[in-house]
Every structure is written in C-alpha cells, then in structure tokens.
Amino acid sequence: MTASAKLCIKGTPNEKQKQFFASRARYTAYGGARGGGKSWALRRKLIGLCLRYAGIRCLLVRRSYAELKANHVRPLLSELGAAITYRESEKCLYLSNGSTIALGYCASVRDCLRYQGQEYDVIAIDEATQLSEYQFSIFKACLRGVGDVPRRMYLTCNPGGIGHAWVKRLFVDRKFEADERAEDYLFIPAQVYDNPVLMQADPDYVRQLESLPKKLRDAWLLGRWDVFEGQFFPEFRRDVHILPAHVIPTRLRKFAAFDYGLDMLAALLLGADERGNLYVLREICLPDLTLGEAGEAVAALCRDADVEYAVASPDLWNRRQDTGKSGFEILQGVRGVPPMCAADNRRIPGWRILREYLSEEGNSPSLRIAEGCTMLIESLPALLCDAARPEDAADEPHVFTHAPEALRYAVMSRFAAWSEKEIPDRNFRFQNTKRRFP
C-alpha cells in the first residue's frame, strides 16, 4: 500500500451520499435540489477512486475554471494538504500513487473541442445542467481506456440551465434513445433535508430556500424537474428529426438561409421535396468573419448544389456607414453567392411555423436534418424560452441562437410544394426582393 493509499478522508456521508458512493452505474447523476452536499460527495468520490486504483486518469469539469478552483481545487488542497499536488500551469492535481485529476472547463462549444480524442477512466461533471447535450456527448466519448479499471462518469445537477432537458430525459424521465441503455444511467435525488450537516450549520440557508418564489422554491428546495423546463423546442427529437445523409431524397429544390453577425455566421443548405417537406442538408457555422469572408463561406456551402435563392436577415439591406454599401451588396458581389432575398423576420410567427414543421402530427414531421449538421442539432434542444415572452426564444446562451435563426428565415421564405410534373423554373422573379421569395 502506498503512502497516499493510507490517507484518511475525513467526513461522514449522509444516506444519499452513501448511495452515490456505492453506485456502479456507468453514468451516475446526484442532486436535483440545492444544499444536498453534491460538491463534497463528488470530491470524495474522485479521491477515493484515485486511491483505490493507482495511476488512473480522472477529469473534473465545471463550466468555468474560476468556479472549479473555488468549489473544488481550494477545498481539496485544504482537506488533503501535502497528500496532493496542484500544478496550475498544467491544470492538474497529482497523487503520489500516480493517479491524476485533470481540471477542465467548458463554457462554450469551442472549449469542449480540446477534449476530443482524449481518454479518461473517470469523468466528474459538476453542475451538469450548465452544459449542452452536445458538450456532454463529447465527454462521453472521452470515457475510455485499456486498463483494468472502471470507466464511470459522475454528474451533479440542479433543475434549470441549458442542459435541463437532456439531464431530465436521461436521469429523471428515463426516456432513452436507440443507442442508450437504461442500465447505464442512475439518478440519486437529494434535497437539503437529506444533508443534516448543512441544516445544523446553516439553518438560515434552508429558510432562504423556503422563502423563494414558488417555481424556484419547487425546483431548488424540492428538486422538482417539471416546473423549470425552459426548453423552447420540446418537439425536437434526435431519433425523429435527424437522418443519415444517404437516406435523404435526392430530387429536391434547393435553397439557402443564413444568419450573419460579427460573432457568428450560421448558413444552412436546404432542400424541399414535391410535398413541401424540408431537409437541412449541410451547414457552415463560423465565427469572426467579415462580410466578404461570409460570402465566400456561403458560396462554398452552395457550390455544385444548384441553389435557387438564399434568404438572409433584412438588416443586411441597410447601408453601412463605413463603406456606404449594404451587406447585401457586399455579399451579392461574391462569386457563387445565390440570388439573395430578405427574410420575413417576424420572430413569434416564424417560431410558430418552425414548430409546425417539427411537429409529428400526421405521423411524421415536415422537417428533417442531416446528421452532419451538428451545430443546428445541438442548438435546437438548447434554445430556451424568453423569460418575459415565453412565445419567443431567449437570446442566451447566444451561441445557440444563430443556426435556429437561419432555420426560421428558411421556413418563413414559404418555399411552395411543387408538382412531380413541373419542370422547376430556375429564373425566379422576386415580387419584393426586400421581403421574401414568392
């Protein structure tokens, strides 16, 4: 036995924490309400595994590195002292038996890309509902290795946040998709009332939770997941709306839609069949592009696709003070950009129409998405309701708004169904080039 294996981990777990420590499920979620002792349990579970299996590689993740240091690194250093070494330059904790705890953060989609291709034996995600399902899937792919040690992921969570829907689906509702096994997922609900140490040490904390407005009280005190939904498109289902590219029909009339901002270009290539069903075929989502660069990206998206028009945000028709030209003029001047028309930018009517396309009334939806359109697939379930206007989508998390905005422009362009006998007319005549394609 090594010196680190003789380390005494202080503290007595409550009954729910004991269940968490005893779990052997591949994915274990713990929490559901505030004050349940989640962070304390997560730290001790990681340290216990590191001591039991010498040389294992662990990853501890939270949305921001500052939160990670405050909630875990400092407590671990205080609790374990010389038994653990922290190297901030490497963002890693080291135990003397060779086990390591890498410290990760994932505030954006770009952050999670650094973990692609990496391998960890154990992954702990604190406040998992702050991450999207796409970010969770990246970490799931990292849970692998060749050593004879368990491969497990531990999550703590509270209702709310951009990840509310997928955490609720997997761990609370237990609604699994084709590639998910029910036996891999375990949820251990815990409330502040399950944590006698906190209740004794800080009784005011319980009173603060009890005095919250009803919805927050039900979510944060009682751990209710049905009062804090917030997902804007509950109709979206991966197993229904996503298709492999090879099964999408080939006889389609194609058009493009894009949302341009200085922070992100989201451009979609779509096709409509003879019945008016829409298919999102390809996407390009790139940050920090000039208008000229955005035009090149749109042209690349549409290349060799026989695209009939592109619909875009109407603000591109406004003249820019720096050049005297409009964004439309700059973009339309790029070789390969299809004829452009301004979108009908009404938000609530647009979202309603998009919701109709996603609806499964009549047995199947009128909108399908090719599986390669990862940003759109990630964004639709992550889009939240606006707190002040529930019929509108929220502006935050902003990274998830661009691709759905482009899709809203697409469905509002009212691409009509066409007859099997019709020879598509490629020479479109815009009745009002500043509003929509007829």
Assess whether the region 11-220 and the region 238-412 belong to the same CATH fold: no
Check whether 41 has a pLDDT greater than 70.
yes
Mention every residue, 6+ apart, whose C-beta is less than 8 A from residue 344. Answer: 350, 409, 412, 413, 435, 436
pLDDT (tens digit per residue) in 341-353: 999 999 999 999 9
Boundaries of every domain in the chain? 11-220, 238-412
Please report the sign of the dihedral spanned by the C-alpha atoms of residue 259, residue 263, residue 269, residue 272.
Answer: negative
Domain made up of 238-412: CATH architecture: 2-Layer Sandwich (3.30)
Pick from 315, 326, 321: nearest CA to 259: 315
pLDDT (tens digit per residue) in 240-277: 999 998 999 999 999 999 999 888 999 999 999 988 89
Say how many C-beta atoms besides its own lie within 10 A of residue 291's C-beta: 22
CA gap 92, 47 in Å, rounded:
13
Check whether 5 has a pLDDT greater than 80.
no
Check whether 421 has a pLDDT greater than 60.
no
| Phi-psi domain of 205 (left: phi exceeds 0; alpha: psi -120 through 50; beta: other) | alpha
Q: Whole-number mean pLDDT of the chain?
A: 86
Instruction: Give the pLDDT score at 362.
Output: 66
Token code pair at residue 325 = 């030209």
Residue 37 or 340, more confident: 340
Phi, psi for 198 (deg, rounded to 5): -70, -40
Matching CATH number, 11-220, of 3.30.450.20, 3.40.50.300, 3.30.470.20, 1.10.10.10: 3.40.50.300
